[in-house]
A = this chain, B = another copy of it.
Amino acid sequence: MAPLSLSSQVKANLSEKLRSAGLRTTKQRILLAHLLFGAGNRHITAEILFDEASRSGLRVSQATIYNTLNQFHKAGLLHEVIIDQGRSYFDTNLEEHHHFYVESEARLIDIDQDEIVMGDLPKPPSGYQTDGIQIVIRLSNK
C-alpha cells in the first residue's frame, strides 16, 4: 500500500473533517482517518487498523490506535459495535443500520435497511432514555 503520500487535496478534506469534529490534526490521525474513511463503509477493529497503519508505513503505537478510535467514536465519527467478547468493532457507517455477524470469521456484514422491518420500539423504563438500538443476527456456516 502506498505510504504517507496522501495528496494535499485528500489531506485537506480529512483535516477539515477532524477539525469540524473538534479534533487536532496530527499526522497519525490524518493517516488513520484516511484508512478508516477513505474506502467506503468499514467494520474495523483496533488490530486491523494497527496492521493497516503499520503496513502503510506509519509507525504508530497501539495506544495511539486505541486513543484515536475512542476519540473518533466520542466525536461522533465512528459507531461502536460490541458483539464479540473482548473485541470492539468500529463502524464508519453512521446511519442506523444493523448487522449479521459471522462468528467463524469474526466478520460483520451490513443488513440492508429495507430488509429489516421493525414495529414500534418498546418504551424505556421511566427514568431512562433510549440511547441506541443494536440488532445483530448471528450466522454460522451452513
Q: Inside 8 A of A127's CB, which chain B residues have their CB?
A: 141-142
- Chain A contacts with B in 92-142, Cβ cutoff 8 A: 100, 102-103, 109, 111-112, 115-125, 127-142
In the bound complex, how far is the Cα of B116 from the Cα of A113, in angstroms?
18
Q: Chain A interface secondary structure, helix, strand, loop or mixed?
A: strand
Q: Which residue from B83, B100, B140 sits with its C-beta under 8 Å from A82?
A: B83
The answer to whether A138 and B142 have CB atoms under 8 Å apart is: no
Complex CA distance for A90 and B60, rounded to whole angstroms: 37
Q: Copy number of this protein in the oligomer? A: 2
Nearest CB to that of A111 among chain B residues?
B122
A88 within 8 A of B: yes
Give the B-binding residues of A (Cβ under 8 A).
82-88, 100, 102-103, 109, 111-112, 115-125, 127-142
A-B contact pairs, 5 of them (CB 8 A): A116-B119, A118-B118, A131-B138, A131-B139, A132-B138
